[in-house]
Chain A
Amino acid sequence: MSGSIKVEGLSKRYWLRHGSGAPYRSLRDEISRWAAAPFRQLSRVFGGAGAKGEGGERVEEFWALKDVSFEVQPGEVIGIIGRNGAGKSTLLKILSRITEPSEGRVEIEGRVASLLEVGTGFHPELTGRENIFLNGAILGMTRAEVRRKFDEIVEFAEVERFLDSPVKRYSSGMYVRLAFAVAAHLEPEILVVDEVLAVGDAQFQRKCLGKMKDVSSGGRTVLFVSHQMGTVRQLCSRGILLAGGQVQKVGTASEVIDAYLEVDAAGGGFFAEGAARTKDVAIESAVTLDGMGQRQAYFLHNDPIKISVTCRVNSWIPNTELRLVVGDSRGRRVFTSDIALQPSPAAANPSVRAEAIIPGHFLRPETYLVSLYTFVNNQVVIAGVSDALSFTIQDGGSKYAASEGLDYGCVFDPCRWTITVVDEETAKGTVNG
C-alpha cells in the first residue's frame, strides 16, 4: 500500500582508519579511507604480506546500523529517537537513498521526499524568488508545482518585500523562514525529516510545528528525528528508539520516550565509540556521581550531583571550552554552564577531566538530560554529544512532594518571601503616595 515502509535486517558499515604516524585523522579522512579498500585488498592479493595496509595503518570497521528491522504503516507518524551516534541520521540517509545499505533490504511504497536540512542548495547570490525554484527542484518539486504554491510559500515565510533581493542580504531569521517554507510545501506520500524544526525564533517554531501537524494529520507517512521529546510526544503516534545502531524499542511515542530517558537509569554513563573519539578535543566519557563518588543515576532532591566529564585531546586547540547543557524531559533547557579547559595539556595524548557539581535542592524532581559540547570562540563546536547523560531526581520529602507529577517548574524556587500585615491606613497611603 502506498506510504508504507518495510525495513529488514538493515546494516550500514563504515571503515575507520587509524594511522600509525599521527595518532588520529579527522573523521572526514577516516571515512574517505574506506573508499580505498579495494586497493588495499589488491595489495593484499598481489603483495601477500601487505595485509597491514600502507604505513602500518589499522583499519577498523564501524557499524553505524546493525540489523535494524521495522515496519511503518501508511499514514503513521513515527518519531525516531536516540543519542548522537545511535544511527538515526544513517537510517534517514538510507531511506532517502543518499547512501546505500551494506546489508539488508528496504521496501518503500510511495514517493519519498527527505528534508535533512533546511535550505539545501540555497545560493547566496540568487534572489529569494530564484532560490524558491532552485530549492524546490532540489527537494523534488517540479517547476509547475512550485509555481502553483509560490504565493503560499512566500506568505508562509513572510518575505514578500525581499523576494527580489539576493538571500545573502537576508537576516538569518528570514533565511531559515524561507528555507523552511519551501520544504513545508512538499507533498510527498512519505516525508523523512531530520531535526529541522529547531530553526527560527519561538514564534516561527510554533508555526513550523503547526505545519508539521497539518502534514502528519493529512494522512501522510512521516518519519521524524528529533531530540526534543516534547515535539515527538506532540507529533508522533509511534516511536523507534535506536541505540548503538540497533533498535532498542518500538512502541507508542510515550513508551519509547520513557525507555529513552531510562537508558542510563542503571547508573550508566556516556562512553564514546568509534569516530566520535577522533575529534580534536573529543568527549571521551561522562558519568554522574553521588556524594560518595559512586556512579549513580538517581538522586534525592537535596543531594548534590557531580557530573564528571573526560575529554580526550587529540589535537589541542587553544581556548577550548566545555559546555554542559541540562534540559528536562520536555525538551526545555534548564541551564547551560561553560568552563575553559585549562591549563592546556602538554603531553602527547592527554585527557582532561572536568567535574561540575549541581547543588542539592536546585533541580526539581524530574528526569534530566545532559548534552556536552567542546567548542571555541563561543560558537565553533569541536565535538558534541546530545543527551549524553540522563539522571533522575526523586523527591525526598520537599514541600512540593504532595504535588508530584505536576509541572511546577524546573527548579526549586529561590525566592525569599516576606509577609507584612498591611492595615488600611498604610495601604491608602501607599496607593495615594
Chain B
Amino acid sequence: MEPGESEPSVLGPGKTKIVLEAGKIDREYFRDLWRYRELFYVLAWRDVSVRYKQTAVGIAWAILRPAVTTIVFTLVFGRLGGFSSGGVPYPVMVLAGMLPWQLFASALTDSGQSLVANSNLITKVYFPRIIIPGSSLVTSLVDFTISGVLLAIVMIVYKVAPGWQIIALPLFVLVALVAAAGIGTWVASLNVKYRDFSFVVPFIVQLGLYISPVGFSTAVVPEKWRLLYSLNPMVGVIDGFRWCLLGGHTNVGSSGFLTSLVIITVVALTGVRHFRRTERAFADII
C-alpha cells in the first residue's frame, strides 16, 4: 500500500511508531482493539459458520436442547413438584428462563475455552487477545436467536402475549452476555495457566442450572432468602427475562436485580483487568 492511501491496516496509517518495553502496559490497547475490529468480525463469523456449516444439525441443536430441557423441567418441577408458575403456563415460564440461562451457559463455556482453543493464533500473531473470548460470544447469541423462535411459537400456542415490557429485553440479553463474559474472561485467562481449570466450568454450568430459577419461579423462594438468592447473578437476569416476556405475571424484585447487576459488573471489571494483566504472557505459557 502506498503511504498516502487511507486504508486502515495492521497498525493503521495513523500509527507509525511503537515502543516495546518490559512490563509496559500498552496504553494504546483500546485503540488497538478498535483497529482490530475486523478480526473480531471475522473470528465471530468463523465460529458461527463452522457451527452452522451443516445448517440442519446446527439449527436442530439450538432448538432441541431448550425444548427437551423444558419438557423435563415442566414434568419434574411443574407436575411432580407441584410448583406454582404464577398464572403462566408452566412450559412458557420454564422456556422464558431457559433461554437466558442457555445464552449464559454456552457463552461462558465458549469464552472460557476460547484462548486454549485458539492457542495457534496466540503464539503466531499479535492482536489484542480479548478479541478471542469476545468474538466467541457471538455464536451463543446466534443460538439464542434461533431458540427465541421456539419460544415465540410456544407462546403463540399457549396464547401468551408479551406486554410493553418487551422493549427492555435487549438490556437483559446484554446483562446475560456481560455476566458470561465476565466469568468467561476469568476462566479463559486462568485456563491458560492452569489447564485443569477447565473442569470448573461444566461444574458451574451444571450446578447453576439447578440453583438458578430456571425450572421454577423465584416466587417459590421464601421472601427472607430472596436477597441472598440474588447473589447468584443469573437470578436477576432470568427474572428480568420473565418480566419482559410474561409481563404482569411475574414480579421482578428491583433490589435483587440491582444486587445481580453489581455482582456482574464487579466480576466483569475484575475479569477484564486480570485478563489484561496476564495477557502479555499468554504466548509464553499457552
Contact = CB atoms under 8 A, between A and B. Distances in A.
Interface of A: 2, 14, 31-32, 34-36, 93-114, 116-117, 120-121, 123, 125-126, 130, 133-134, 137-145, 187-188
B10 interface: yes
Interface string B274-286: 0000101101110
What 3 A-B pairs have minimum CB-CB distances, sorted nearest first?
A97-B126, A140-B10, A137-B42
Contacts of A120: 120-121, 124-125
Interface of B: 1, 3, 7-12, 15-23, 38-39, 41-43, 46, 49-50, 53, 118, 120-127, 192-193, 195, 278, 280-281, 283-285
6 contacts: A35-B192, A35-B193, A100-B20, A108-B20, A125-B53, A126-B46
Nearest to B47: A123
A14 B285 CA distance: 10
Nearest to B278: A35
Contacts of A105: 19-21
A112 B10 contact: yes
B50 A123 contact: yes
Contacts of A34: 284-285
Nearest to A109: B17
B193 A36 contact: yes
Given A120-B121, A138-B125, A101 B21 contact: yes
Contacts of A133: 42
B3 A101 contact: no
A59 B88 CA distance: 62
Contacts of B3: 2
A110 B15 CA distance: 8
A90 to B, nearest CB: 10
B46 to A, nearest CB: 6
Contacts of A145: 1, 7, 9
Nearest to B42: A137
Given A102-B22, A104-B22, A111-B9, A187 B125 contact: no
A100 B50 contact: no
A245 B278 CA distance: 25
Contacts of B195: 32
Contacts of A103: 22
A114 B123 CA distance: 11
A117 B283 CA distance: 15
A134 B42 contact: yes
Contacts of B41: 137
